[in-house]
A and B are shown apart, each in its own frame.
Chain A
Amino acid sequence: MSTLGDIVVLIKPALNPEMIRSLPDGGVDFDNIPLKLSDIDRNAIEEANRLKELLKGKIYSITISTWGPIAKRDKDIKMAIQEGLAKGVDEAILLEDDSITPGDQITTASAIVSILNKFNIKPDIILTGEATIDGFSGQVAGRVAAKLNLPYISFARKIDLNGNKVIAERDLEDYVEVVETQLPAVISVTREINSPKPPTLIQIRMASKKPQHVVKLSDLTNVAMPKKKLAEAKVLSVKRKQTMIEGKSLEEVADKLIEILEQEGVLKH
């Protein structure tokens, strides 16, 4: 049983969906969409801070860059990592290598395990987001847990520690499940677990003094190459009419709206 009380939080610089750009043919203009720290990973960082007070260890963040080219993305990637450091991560590790971009979850999970081995980190808890805002696939945590042969608790919206035990609430479609397991464990969290606030200026300034390690693929062993190919990505264009309903009074507007509802056949007679 490890007793260092360390926590690892997995954080991904993801394509920012709010800044989506389209090519003339409707394809996603990947090169011009910036990266940002995936939203739900912020919740994972926040939870790491809370648990650190009980476990008394260090918080490491691990990041596998999945979108290239690295030279172009480096600034965004470092910003995402910096945000983690500003919000309580003590030490950050980053794998940057153009030979694994665009990456997939097979590569990501195997690289995370490889980094844990290389840096000899034996965390009590590995925290992740339930899914990333770009791929929204929800599978990296389970992969890492299986590779490390650790218990896995997914979709946690509440985590309690009691000595060597974790008690968590899993947020499922129809019910909430209270589960218990022994540390060390891998836990993915939902956005509902806490409400992270953006870092303050002082926190950001302090962050630059914290240790950061950048590794390349050649520094690691047993990293699996991507198997999924992104054949095409199209910006979803749901064309809406964008007609404004106007009138001299709200009464007139209401009449026009009722007329539309009637045409659509949704009003009971």
Chain B
Amino acid sequence: MVDVLVVVQKEADASELLTIAKKVGEPVALTYGNSEIEKLTKYFNKVYRIKEDDPNSIFFAIKTLYEKLNPKLVVGMSSKNLKDAYSRLAGIYDLPLATDIFDFNVSGSKVTYKRSFLSGRAIETEEVTMPLLLLVSPRKTQKSEGNSNGSIEELSIGNSSNVVIKERKEKVKGGVNLEAAEFIISVGRGFKNKDDLKLAFDLAELAGAQIGCSRPIAADLKWLTEDHWVGLSGKKVAPKVYLMFGISGAPQHLAGITDAKTVIAVNNDKTAPIFKNADYGIVADLYQFIPILTKKLKERH
């Protein structure tokens, strides 16, 4: 009897997903593409594998296992490809599906979980009856130790994919890892030219900070690569200090920094909404202020 189907590639995700699965019952796993399969066998008694890693194939595999095993819960870590794959299975069987959830709880066949709502401005609690599909927000669930010694079974889905992959282009990265950064200096539309970002980069280098940015800087202007992008549709960060220059404080940007410990904003408009959402505010022109701050930090060394 299988209660939970866990769709997973990485050990770090498996350790969190197992915590959720155990609240419901006995799990098995499905893994796909280039995965840490040997490590996954520590967490599950059975790991099904497909070689493919496109959403269409993942969907076929989940569907095959769902129909065979009849689990109460199909769970995975939120990602774009899994949102794609899960939504299709949910559509076929009219199953409830929730994405980016945390705080999962079970009582009988009733399930509750929380998720961000209204572009990050609220938290909702939803109540659903199993069976259901869930995609979990990473790093919000306690980890479980794995002590299984599971077997691996190749799953053949007889690829009938109607979407053909022509090419995959790796995204250019700026070499930042904002999720792990303790100190982030973030830049917004207050900068007038791409070259001016040097002000912030020099400061960041001196201070040992990583550079983040608002959406327009990465998406519209493309001055920085997407790994710098913070917010609702960018990275969710949790540094000790988030120091921002020339960012207005739109709710979609704030959605990325709710877990930051101390938020500091520099903006030349004293009515900028960011000042209501910062621990410390400085009304200043960034073009005047950053060089002074940089000079002072240099002197300190």
Interface residues of A (CB under 8 A from B): 15, 17-18, 20, 28, 33, 104-106, 109-110, 133-147, 151-155, 167, 170-182, 191-192, 195, 224, 227-236, 238, 240-245, 250-251, 253-255, 257-258, 260-261, 264-268
Contact = CB atoms under 8 A, between A and B. Distances in A.
Contact of B163 (A176, A179, A231, A255): A179
A250 to B, nearest CB: 5
Contacts of B86: 139, 142
B79 interface: yes
B126 A254 contact: no
A133 B183 contact: no
A236 B126 contact: no
**B117, B127, B219: residue with the most chain A Cβ atoms closer than 10 Å:** B117
Contact of B118 (A17, A138, A178, A245): A17
B277 A265 contact: no
B87 A229 contact: no
Interface string B217-236: 00110000000000011000
Contacts of A191: 219, 233
B229 to A, nearest CB: 11
A228 B209 contact: no
Interface in B51-66: 54-56, 59
Interface string B249-278: 001101000100111100000000001111
Dominant secondary structure at the A interface: mixed
B300 interface: yes
Interface stretch (B22-30, B36-44, B94-102, B142-150): B94-102
Given A15-B118, A181-B162, A146 B284 contact: no
B88 interface: yes
Contact of B283 (A181, A235, A244): A244
Contacts of B300: 258, 267
A5 to B, nearest CB: 20
Contacts of A241: 278-280
A106 B96 contact: yes
Nearest to B251: A17
Contact of A264 (B84, B241, B252, B276): B241
B48 interface: no
Dominant secondary structure at the B interface: mixed
A236 B84 contact: no
Given A154-B83, A176-B171, A242-B276, A227 B164 contact: no
B175 to A, nearest CB: 14
B111 to A, nearest CB: 10
Interface residues of B, number: 87
A243 B279 contact: yes
Leading 8 A-B pairs by shortest Cβ distance? A142-B87, A143-B91, A146-B91, A17-B119, A139-B87, A266-B183, A146-B88, A241-B279
A267 B126 contact: no
Given A20-B121, A133-B119, A250-B289, 8 more contacts: A138-B83, A146-B89, A147-B91, A177-B54, A224-B94, A233-B122, A244-B282, A251-B296
Given A146-B92, A235-B122, A151 B162 contact: yes
B84 A142 contact: yes
A179 B219 contact: no
B86 to A, nearest CB: 7
A142 B125 CA distance: 23
A155 B284 CA distance: 39
B165 interface: yes
B171 A175 contact: yes
B196 to A, nearest CB: 17
B125 A231 contact: yes
B167 interface: yes
B122 A240 contact: no
A251 B292 CA distance: 6
B112 interface: yes
Nearest to B124: A233
A206 B239 CA distance: 50
A236 B128 contact: no
A240 B86 CA distance: 37
B96 A227 contact: yes
B116 interface: yes
Contacts of B263: 240
A47 B276 CA distance: 37
A137 B99 contact: yes
Interface string B188-207: 00000000000000000001
